[in-house]
Amino acid sequence: MTTETQDEGLEYNFAYLDEQTKRMIRRALLKAVAVPGYQVPFAGREMPMPYGWGTGGIQVTASILESEDVLKVIDQGADDTTNAVSIRKFFQRVAGIATTEKTEEATLIQTRHRIPETPLSEGQILVYQVPIPEPLRFLEPRETETRKMHALEEYGLMHVKLYEDIARHGHIATTYAYPVKVNDRYIMDPSPTPKFDNPKMNRCAALQLFGAGREKRIYAVPPYTDVVSLDFEDHPFEIQGWDQPCSICGDSTSFLDEVIMDDQGTRMFVCSDTDHCASRQAQGYQGPGQEAAE
Amino acid sequence: MTEQENLQTPLLSAQSVTKTYGPHLGCSDISFDLYPGEVIGIVGESGSGKTTLLNCLAGRLTPDTGAIFYTDRLGSALNVHTVSEPQRRMLMRTDWAFVHQHARDGLRMTVSAGGNVGERLMAGGARHYGNIREQALDWLEKTEVDTSRIDDRPDTFSGGMQQRLQIARNLVTGPRLVFMDEPTGGLDVSVQARLLDLLRGLVAEMGLSAIIVTHDLAVARLLSHRLMVMRRGQVVETGLTDQVLDDPQDAYTQLLVSSVLHP
């Protein structure tokens, strides 16, 4: 199956990757889904973008994309930033599929750093771009050793990291890539999503796939799987909170970005999920910033 | 099993342990028993195979021939080199402790002193920060490390403090058997004296069994009950420490003992 592109004489296989590569990646995906949280090595390909820009996620997306899929791409919560725009364009061009910015309309969502505020539903697939898949990496540099630790479930070291946080800051100061235990077995790095999103991973109705291009690893969380954030009995896991709502849509339950407005240090807080914010505005919600402007 | 019977069963039993590195001999045909509460010193010159033997005993090196049996808390004898890897690693972080010559090899230099001491506890399933910290403080105090430095990284510590921290980190889970490889190597004499004093106190207080490798006869005399003298991979003399050092029978032991200056 090939897709005609605007460029004359240039033809890509559907979704850029050749069928053999897709097959190889799908096999890795099947294994990953069968062993939730386990990092499956795969023969990652060179993609037409640098490592760190989502080469892992894009390979996973390309392997599972079908012509009737509707794709949404998120970069730091937003649909309109460089990474999101270019990946969306890439798939429009090489697969000719439909794209959307609406979470509910998407069948496939590739994301960097955020899980949409709108709860995901059955049948949707969330693909994460992962820079460093190994949660134990900065504590134990040897890959042979970390693999052994996963195999033997020796996870004491992960708590040493949290201990260090409390000893240094008085509370668990890890705010992103917060380690989780999947299905009561593997410790997993949920990619650099803020820990605010960790509870959304737990028993999520959608299939969650993780692709790390540079490290050539794939892992997955099947629908309705337990995902528990690690903590101490006397320092339980908690998510960030803000003492003001989004200044555009007034939501006080979503993840907010801090935006510096001028040289005087004026700042405003806005929803990081642009689709969530826009649909609330369309429903007539207003934040304190909007009211002041009127 | 009663306490009495317990004391009669060797805690660790080495049976003709041999390890070679290609054509070079590490240690050859070494057998001995270590009983609960006993401290055995292994002395000899550099290259005599002391450390090779210790690494074999501690499950860190696999001997070419021979076997090493460890009697666990339930009284069953485990072959250290044929038990499953999870079981061996479990032993290493609960029942055993290994004190390295260089503290850097035994510590996590990028983790605070408290985290270093707490690691074994957390590996064992401790999940209460307050309790872990309390035990870490307790052990820093026992090993005479200034408790106000609990949140400092060990690379800011002096050599003697690092060594004491390494001991605290190893003993916090109450091991039954401690392997020490030149625990006082590279420390100046006054620091050595304090460390030896500390070790002697802890070994006696906790009823630890220990195997100590050293080239320093004074360390061996202070800490160990029994002594094995090694040369070129073989044990040339064994016996009670005082007996071996005061009345050496083997020519090499005589040379070794007479080489020490008595100021």
The order of strands in the sheet holding B12-21 is B24-34, B12-21, B65-71, B77-79
| Amino acid occupying residue A75 | D
Work out the average pLDDT over A247-267: 92
Average pLDDT over residues A35-50: 94
- pLDDT exceeds cutoff 80 at A273: yes
Q: Is A160 on the interface with B (CB under 8 A)?
A: yes
Q: What pLDDT is attached to residue B3?
A: 52
In A, minimum Cα distance to B117 occurs at A160
**Across residues B95-105, what is the average pLDDT?**
92
Q: Is A212 left (phi over 0), alpha (psi -120 to 50) or beta?
A: beta
| Selected residue of A144, A152, A154, A159 to mutate for chain B interface (largest B Cβ count, 10 A) | A159
Q: Place B1 in a pLDDT band, splitting at 50, 70 and 90.
A: very low
The pLDDT score that the predictor gives to residue A1 is 54
- ipTM given for this complex: 0.84
Give CA separation, B172 vs A225, B133, B144, B180, B230, in Å: 36, 12, 14, 16, 31
Best residue in A158, A232, A235, A237 for a mutation probing chain B (most B CBs within 10 Å):
A232
Are A234 and B130 inside 8 Å of each other by CB?
A: yes
Mean pLDDT of A219-232: 96
Do B115 and A164 count as a contact with CB atoms less than 8 A apart? yes
Is the separation of the CB atoms in A52 and A214 below 8 Å? yes
With a pLDDT cut of 70, the percent of chain A lying above it is 95
A148 chain-B contacts, CB cut-off 8 A = 85
The mean per-residue pLDDT over the stretch B122-141 comes to 92
Residue-level pLDDT at A227: 97
pLDDT (tens digit, 9 = 90+) per residue, B145-163? 899 999 999 999 998 899 9
CA distance A159 to chain B (A): 7
Give the pLDDT confidence of A151-197 residue by residue, as tens digits: 999 998 999 999 999 999 999 999 999 999 999 999 999 989 999 99
The identity of residue A154, as a single letter, is E
Please give the interface size between A and B, counted as residue pairs whose CB atoms are below 8 Å apart.
53
Q: What pLDDT band is residue A7 in, cutting at 50, 70 and 90?
A: low
Q: Do B115 and A154 touch (CB under 8 A)?
A: no
Do the Cβ atoms of A163 and B118 come within 8 Å? yes
Active-site positions of A? 37, 246, 249, 271, 277
Rounded-to-integer distance, Cα B181 and Cα B213, Å: 5
Q: Reply yes or no on whether the pLDDT at A4 is more than 70.
A: no
Mean pLDDT of A114-122: 94
Looking at CA atoms only, how far is residue B204 from chain A in angstroms? Answer: 29
Binary contact (A160, B85; C-beta < 8 A): no
Q: Cβ of A235 and B129 within 8 Å?
A: yes
Residue B245 in tokens: 């050092």
More confident residue, A62 or B46: A62
Closest Cβ opposite residue B127 in set A154, A167, A232: A232
Nearest CA among A271, A285, A289 for reference residue A76: A271
Inform me whether the C-beta atom of residue A152 falls under 8 Å from chain B C-beta atoms.
Answer: yes
Separation of alpha carbons B227 and A69, rounded Å: 76
Tell me how close the Cα of A231 comes to any Cα of chain B, in angstroms.
8
Q: Residue A39: exposed, middle, or buried by beta-carbon count in 10 A (0-12, 13-18, 19+)?
A: buried
pLDDT (tens digit per residue) in B174-224: 899 999 999 888 788 888 888 888 888 888 888 889 999 998 888 888 889
Residues 6+ apart with CB under 8 A from A271: A77, A117, A246, A248, A249, A251, A254, A255, A256, A257, A277, A280
CB contact under 8 A, B133 and A167: yes
Q: Is A10 on the interface with B (CB under 8 A)?
A: no
Please, are residues A105 and A69 in contact by the beta-carbon 8 Å criterion?
A: no
Mean pLDDT over A99-113 rounds to: 94
Mean pLDDT of chain A: 91
CB count in 10 Å sphere of residue A76? 17
* Partner-chain residue, chosen from B123, B128, B150, that has the shortest CB–CB distance to A154: B123
Is B118 in the A-facing interface, judged by CB distances under 8 Å? yes
Nearest to B129 among A157, A166, A168 (CB): A166
B123/A156 CB distance under 8 A: yes
Partner B contacted by A235 (CB < 8 A) = yes
Which residue, among B43, B123, B22, has the nearest Cα to A157 in the 3D structure?
Answer: B123
